[in-house]
Amino acid sequence: MNSRSLAFGLEAVQQGIRFHVILNAYWEALPFELPCGNGILDPWRRWIDTALEPPCEIVKWEEAPVVSGEVYQAGGRSVVVLLSGSVFRDADGNREP
């Protein structure tokens, strides 16, 4: 069996940030189930998605939009990097927009 996709997670514990990386080498879009986040305070945010048109394909990580749902549709032959973590909380521990 051949696979043309890969997804994996990384965590920078001291910085309070998690990454979920999706590599889709298949020529069509594929759905990827997202790992459980840390609840409503730390949802996944889209930092990089090379299937999107400029300037949306890479945004400043601090401005990454929230991803809704439990599945992310990665475009064909694309790279996606999602972020999550306490780095997006304000001084009171509340989620920043």
- What separation in angstroms does the CA of 25 have from each of 5, 32, 75, 80, 83? 6, 13, 9, 11, 21
Q: Provide the pLDDT confidence category of residue 16 given band limits of 50, 70 and 90.
A: confident
Average pLDDT of the chain to the nearest whole number = 88
Domain boundaries, the chain: 5-88
The structure tokens 């189930």 sit at 33
Selected residue with higher pLDDT from 41 and 68 = 68
Per-residue pLDDT for 90 more than 70? no
Selected residue with higher pLDDT from 42 and 87 = 42
Q: Provide the pLDDT confidence category of residue 35 given band limits of 50, 70 and 90.
A: very high
Pick the CATH number of 5-88 from 1.10.10.60, 3.30.70.120, 3.30.200.20, 2.60.40.1180: 2.60.40.1180
Q: Provide the pLDDT confidence category of residue 1 given band limits of 50, 70 and 90.
A: low
User: Over pLDDT 70: what percentage of the chain?
Assistant: 85
Please check whether residue 85 is in contact with residue 54, taking contact to mean a CB–CB distance below 8 angstroms.
no
Per-residue pLDDT for 62 more than 70? yes
